[in-house]
Structure 1
């Protein structure tokens, strides 16, 4: 596959994943699938916006760059179109690194949230974090420690797991674009896409 075409394909996938991450993070503001009357009852990690900022908005920039890369020649780079195309591929590496860092941020936030568990109303009548270092992941009976909101454990676990998976895929795709960008910078485009269009 041509380096420009590969970048465009990666951009499409990253764009779709960023929309899913944005929605998953937005749903975390509805603990257990229900609206809360007190935002202090939300898990702390929800407010770090891992899916909205990291895998969402921060990923839109490289995704859009990759989508347009097939047609971008950076104004011909002083009149030399091939040089301009190679420079465009080189700049895609920088945006891929930005995307990788954004996805990495979402990955860390999601991993911490899964490890910590959700904030909920505990048996002692106070709101807090009843689980200790992933103990609830292997023992489902511990989920009864969370009295309210209903189903908050499975809700948070599912959504943060989705964000974690999306972040891993996005990091892999951005790393792939770094390699693709290096190939495009050094070797040019293998299919002649960078040739002047008739």
Structure 2
């Protein structure tokens, strides 16, 4: 498989991951599946890790990866400054953008998972805050009842941010693979195979 085709496969794979991340971030604005006041939404949700990091920023590498296959690589035969080589090299920069975006989402998700959700808690004086700031709730599910409102906010918060974390790690891995693929395409070229086919076709015609 040539470098361009492989890059296109990576771009196609990133699309559903990108959509999932955006949807997860949107759902986090409705803790426990309910509409609440904006000040009762966890602060990490407002960092838009899934929407900006794994969503908007990921659009650029996706478009570039999918467009590499459409380059007219056969037109560069005999030309040292092959356009396909330059395209593969430039894809590395966009892959780096994808790594940064997904990395941002992973960091936000990790911090949020460790800190826990914003919720109403307290036995006597109920207040809104982060009762799990030290991450104990991850190993002790009985602590989840500390949050009184919104209902089921802990499982909602933890599940969605875990999905964002996993999706972000997969996006980082795919973009890292394209960095290697881009280097190979830039160094080894991606147009020899199609040029050979074109030359053979021309010979047959003559």
TM-score scaled by length of structure 1: 0.92
How far the C-alpha of 1:125 sits from its partner, in A, is 1.1
How far the C-alpha of 1:192 sits from its partner, in A, is 2.1
Task: Name the CA distance, whole Å, in 2 between partners of 1:16 and 1:141.
Answer: 35
Q: Which residues in structure 2 correspond to 1:2-21 (within 5 Å)?
A: 2-21=2-21
8 Å CA contact 1:15–1:63 kept in 2: the answer is yes
Task: Name the CA distance, whole Å, in 2 between partners of 1:25 and 1:193.
Answer: 43
Q: Secondary structure at 1:93's aligned position in 2?
A: helix
Task: Name the CA distance, whole Å, in 1 between partners of 2:21 and 2:194.
Answer: 32
What corresponds to 1:171 in structure 2?
172
Task: Name the CA distance, whole Å, in 1 between partners of 2:7 and 2:109.
Answer: 27
How far the C-alpha of 1:71 sits from its partner, in A, is 1.0
Q: Secondary structure at 2:131's aligned position in 1?
A: coil
- Bigger Cα Rg: 2
Q: Which residues in structure 2 correspond to 1:37-52 (within 5 Å)?
A: 38-52=37-51
How far the C-alpha of 1:81 sits from its partner, in A, is 9.1
Report the aligned-residue RMSD: 2.1
Paired residues in the alignment total: 195
Task: Name the CA distance, whole Å, in 2 between partners of 1:98 and 1:195.
Answer: 34
How far the C-alpha of 1:132 sits from its partner, in A, is 3.0
8 Å CA contact 1:70–1:193 kept in 2: the answer is no
What corresponds to 2:105 in structure 1?
106
**1:111-149 deviation digits (Å, cap 9, x = unpaired):** 000000000001231100001321000000100110000
Unmatched runs of 5 consecutive residues or more in structure 1: none
Task: Name the CA distance, whole Å, in 2 between partners of 1:91 and 1:14.
Answer: 18
What corresponds to 1:57 in structure 2?
56
What corresponds to 2:117 in structure 1?
118
What corresponds to 2:157 in structure 1?
156
Task: Name the CA distance, whole Å, in 2 between partners of 1:194 and 1:34.
Answer: 59
Q: Which residues in structure 2 correspond to 1:78-117 (within 5 Å)?
A: 80=79, 83-117=82-116
- Greater than 3 Å deviation, 4+ residue runs: 79-82, 193-198
How far the C-alpha of 1:72 sits from its partner, in A, is 2.3
Task: Name the CA distance, whole Å, in 2 between partners of 1:92 and 1:9.
Answer: 14
- Flag the 1:108–1:5 CA change in 2: closer, same or farther, 3 A: same
8 Å CA contact 2:68–2:87 kept in 1: the answer is yes
